[in-house]
């Protein structure tokens, strides 16, 4: 397991899987160890994935200062990782909450990105956020599912702040509630640093106007990949994210939720490779 050292002395670990041109991957959660990403639907057959465990998660060390869990404070970790990997410019994939970390990195180091993939991203760094209405609208698309009758009221209450998180509505985060999805949820608690997650979006993490202005210098193509059944982000919010970037396109994966590589691995991999170019050469 390779490691490198952050500016504050924290030892950070990452995992290498597959063969081919490198693809750097940032996990979401927030603050969930990279193990939940698996092989990203089989991307390891085409690209060598470098999956970072953010500080305080997975095999990475715990920082002395918990304030460094704030999203913007980890941008330097990503830059030091790029240097450690020996990449002049990198293809970067970020999932969910890591979408904001990737956007902040792109704003600060626009010329270090060759291609950027934002997979079902949280765009708080741009001053955008999925709303309860977005999530409920996506949930209603699942009204024909056998579990919907029990799950929807609990989900609605949670989003309204009237009840706590309930595992009964976990199916809303997946396009298919099958054995693969159920197995995927079983490891979430053990993989997530809850104390760090509480600090990730802390006050001061984002300055959306400044970030948007800085992203004007980003010349790298961007793909914002959304799931048809995902409420955070919904396809409509994904389109708003793309509109805020200089050279971005949107793809919406049919019948997919927040983890599209699980819902239809072949579709996900085709989309990613179509954007990256299977052999690492840009497709456009």
Give the orientation angle of helix 98-108 with respect to helix 75-85, to 10 degrees: 70
What integer pLDDT is reported at residue 277 of this predicted model?
Answer: 83
Q: Is 59 exposed, middle or buried (0-12, 13-18, 19+ CB in 10 A)?
A: middle
Residue 283 has pLDDT above 60, yes or no: no
Read off the pLDDT of each residue in 125-146 and give the average, rounded to a whole number.
97
- Confidence band for 280, pLDDT divided at 50, 70 and 90: very low
Tokens of 117: 């993939």
What mean pLDDT is predicted for residues 192-206? 98
For residues 70-75, give the mean pLDDT. 98
Coil, strand or helix at 112: helix
pTM above 0.85, yes or no: yes
Asked if residue 233 has a cis previous peptide bond (ω within 30° of 0), the answer is yes
């Amino acid at each position: 397991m390779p490691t490198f050292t952050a500016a504050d002395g924290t030892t950070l670990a990452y995992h290498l899987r597959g063969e081919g041109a490198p693809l750097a991957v940032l996990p979401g959660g927030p603050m969930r160890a990279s193990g939940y990403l698996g092989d990203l639907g089989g991307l390891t057959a085409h690209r060598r994935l470098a999956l970072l465990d953010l500080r305080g998660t997975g095999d990475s060390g715990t920082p002395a200062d918990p304030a460094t869990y704030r999203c913007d404070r980890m941008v330097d970790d990503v830059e030091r990782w790029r240097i450690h990997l020996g990449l002049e410019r990198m293809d970067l994939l970020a999932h969910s909450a890591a979408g904001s970390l990737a956007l902040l990195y792109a704003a600060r180091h626009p010329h270090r990105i060759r291609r950027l993939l934002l997979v079902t991203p949280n765009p708080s760094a741009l001053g955008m956020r999925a709303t309860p209405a977005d999530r409920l609208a996506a949930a209603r698309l699942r009204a024909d599912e056998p579990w919907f009758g029990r799950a929807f009221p609990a989900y609605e209450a949670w989003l309204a702040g009237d009840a706590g998180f309930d595992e009964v509505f976990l199916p809303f985060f997946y396009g298919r509630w099958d054995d693969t999805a159920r197995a995927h949820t079983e490891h979430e608690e053990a993989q997530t640093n809850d104390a760090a997650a509480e600090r990730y979006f802390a006050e001061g993490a984002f300055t959306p106007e400044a970030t948007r202005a800085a992203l004007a210098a980003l010349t790298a193509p961007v793909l914002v990949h959304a799931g048809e059944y995902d409420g955070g982000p919904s396809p409509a919010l994904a389109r708003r994210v793309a509109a805020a970037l200089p050279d971005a396109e949107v793809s919406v994966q049919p019948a997919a939720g927040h983890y599209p590589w699980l819902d239809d691995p072949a579709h996900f991999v085709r989309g990613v490779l179509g954007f990256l170019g299977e052999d690492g050469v840009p497709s456009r």
